[in-house]
Structure 1
């Protein structure tokens, strides 16, 4: 039996969508701030070791980097919970709000100048996020994580996922070593490609946990653990290349484009 969905809300929005909205916004706040704190930690680590952009891992012993990492984890947990309540079409675009937070903090704390087009981009993020939040569709009820798995294993999506994985591997093994420090699109490409699979898997895992907590146990389905493995693999890879991007010469652009 499907978990009951609540239809009461405010402003024409269901209560589940409202919960997802609140969680997504709080997630953006934590994640946006985490970029700045992590970058401060990476800068400190670079002063005493090899920069992350060149393969160094001295940031792992830098407390400030871990504070930023904890902030990001809190934000990702909130984001994860948001996917359990609201449709991905509502939650994912709201992640763009972290761009505004990162830009504002980078301007005030890191003394990175925010240009006119950057300000315009922030305004567009706000307008777009509000528009999507006001017109987000209602999510259909899901009875089991197996329903999501059936959708994810349809030929069209499998073809897309295969293209994404191959493209990411090509970037990681052939493009990053040669152009990672000179081309803005390399790290962005790796994180964004894998991010598309992360969103789908996080949504599926969120649904599984929501159903489990409501009394419909999904933990004994292998599909649940398959989605969890995909999330762990994609997220760990994204974090690794995000750290490289943050310490690259075009770090400000990477933060903004990857904040979502």
Structure 2
């Protein structure tokens, strides 16, 4: 079953040049897709169109096979959560606990049940020990994990992460990536859309969509899309490190079909 379907979607900020140009794709229930592309390719605009923050110029958006219009847009918005690039722009409460609870309060969630929910989703992102802390005192990675908890607590059917690690240091990126992988692994019905310009991050997903100048230029499994060196080079993108390293290994006779660093190490060790 398709959780989300985009048909011939187009959008322009100035009614002249198209930022999103006749894009079509489908996302299955529980699928994890990455949308990659250089800055200005239309990735974040597409995310805003999906959740209704922008009005499309033309095309159709379907949620559970039902077309989304202005009349029923709230149905999609209540079942979709978006985590933005800058975690500082998402904090409202004076403590981590307040921030995670904010969305539930807006939905009039029963107060006597709220604490249990807060603790559950704080634990899911590894932030249980920080509930009484002020968000301003957290690291970038910790802030982004709080933002993800605040999204998950709403129990969305689609979670969109828009450049969620782009402002983080390497340690913060690594931690958030692990959280994203675990969320996908443990929430089989949650449809996950990761928008990123980090090619290595896209390896986490089931399918990769590549945007360039508002057009969808390629889609498929990570191993197929992210090995297309010619296509990536034309878009000023590099192959993931693991594939570049694997290519060098093949030159010296070490065969590898690794999808991550751990598998690369195993292949090198096995070749000894």
- Fold in common (TM above 0.5): no
- Name the structure where strand makes up a greater proportion of residues: 2
- Name the structure where helix makes up a greater proportion of residues: 1
| TM-score, length of structure 1 as denominator length | 0.31
